[in-house]
Amino acid sequence: MSTYRFGADLAVSARLPKLGVRARKPVCVGLLTPLTGDAAAWGLPGLNGCKIWADWLNESGGLKIGDQRRQVEIVAFDDHSDPARAVMGVKHLVLEQDVKFILMLGGDTVPAVADFLNRYKMLASTNVPSDLGPDTPYLIAPCECHPMYVATGVDWLAENRPHLKTVSICAQKDLIGLPSMATYRAAFKVAGINVVKDIIYPGNTHDMDGVVDAMLEPNPDILCWGTSYEPFVHALTQAAYHKGFTGQILSCTVDNYHSLIGKTDKEFMEGTIFHFPDFDDPALDEPGINFPRPAEFFAEYNRRYPGEWSTVSWVYCSVLEMWRNAVERIQTVDPVAVLWAMKLGGFTSNIFGEAQWWGEDFFGINHSLISRWPVVEIHNGKARIVEFRSVLDWCQANSEVLMQEMRSLGQMWDQRYENA
């Protein structure tokens, strides 16, 4: 089994003398994500985090390859969540910027760029493992095992708040929202919580009052926002608040939750469950957490970019750290060689501990690195991790139910092939 302590090498190298010859040409890494629009909260804060990561690495001397130290440069392209823009972006990054790795949000843009990635054998990552397939051999999901990890929040609620018996769910109709809806359906079924309403809304809708009215009609104990984008989560939550809902709120993400508390109130948001912690969380100082200086990173992020911390502020740079480790282990930035090094042995570690490359049954390829994931609760106005739960254990125990729900929404890899 091949393992490493994620981030430890970077923390150590920052304290070592900067030996070796510095190469003039930097190594470029591409970021192909939405930096504007409804999904910008899952792109722009990630770029900010990558800048901090690159600054820390470059200040420590850069990538160590042989007797050289090479600086790393982050090159970003705003794809607007538009497939046509994504094609322009991937060509710009590979052909004009000579990037050696591309970080992507994923979703609707991935099918548009898949052939290009294959043709140029370009290593790329996605935050949405349901993008994966046998036809994307150079695409990996090494950090987020979305949407599988959302099941851990449902599982936690079923054990800790057993009085919650009914739920209304919503999600946007795209390649992020639909897999999330399927996973939440499966998780609630396993937990014995009855889905009394589910709504798939158009990705560009702004009639969240109408969505919430329909969700409240059967008087559910839980309102679940699926993996809705930040503007939708805020609009849905405010609508529920103004309509007098007093039950449980569950969401994959609650970006900028401090602002949302200000728009509602602290009591209303108390007990909200989601999956992305602040990095000053004491639980991230425990053994098995593999991120270089999380509290220091969080403080630096908020100093540079006040009020902009989000779901992805740390996600992309956690992937970069795994990439860096692989590069320095095999002494090359060649994308195919780095992919081999990252996957060597089938087991490794990611940010939350020991992980396994997994997913053939769901995605047709074992390119999703799956581990435990945090369940986060808003308590007294602050997001705090209440528990880490194994996503792999849940998926292995409930694979048939999950596959059934994925297939019902056309989200299994073979169905996407048929519809391509």
List, for residues 158-198, the tens digit of each pLDDT value: 999 999 999 999 999 999 999 999 999 999 999 999 999 99
Model confidence at 417, in pLDDT bands (50, 70, 90)?
A: low
Widest distance between CA atoms in the chain = 67
Average pLDDT (244-256) is: 97
pLDDT of residue 346: 72
Report whether 71 contacts 26 (CB < 8 A): yes
DSSP string, 113-173: HHHHHHHTT--EE-S-GGG--TT-TTEEB-S--TTTTHHHHHHHHHHH-TT--EEEEEEES
In three-state form (DSSP H/G/I as H, E/B as E, the rest C), the secondary structure along 39-67 is CHHHCHHHHHHHHHHHHHHHHCCCEEECC
Other C-beta atoms within 10 Å of 324: how many? 25
Beta bridge partners of 167: 195, 222
Give the span between the Cα atoms of 67 and 78, in whole angstroms. 35
Q: 200 with 177: CB under 8 angstroms?
A: yes
- Is-contact 30 103, C-beta < 8 A? yes
What average pLDDT score do residues 277-306 get? 95
Encode pLDDT of 54-80 as tens digits. Answer: 999 999 999 999 889 999 999 999 999
Picking from 322, 315, 274, 324, the residue whose alpha carbon sits closest to that of residue 297 is 315
Across residues 333-358, what is the average pLDDT?
91
Asked if residue 19 has pLDDT above 60, the reply is no
- Identify the helix (H) or strand (E) that includes residue 216: helix 208-216
Domains in the chain (CATH in brackets) are 8-146+288-370 (3.40.50.2300), 150-274+373-419 (3.40.50.2300)
> For position 16, what pLDDT does the model report?
38
Cβ(378)–Cβ(257) below 8 Å: yes
Helical axes 177-191 vs 150-160, angle rounded to 10°: 30
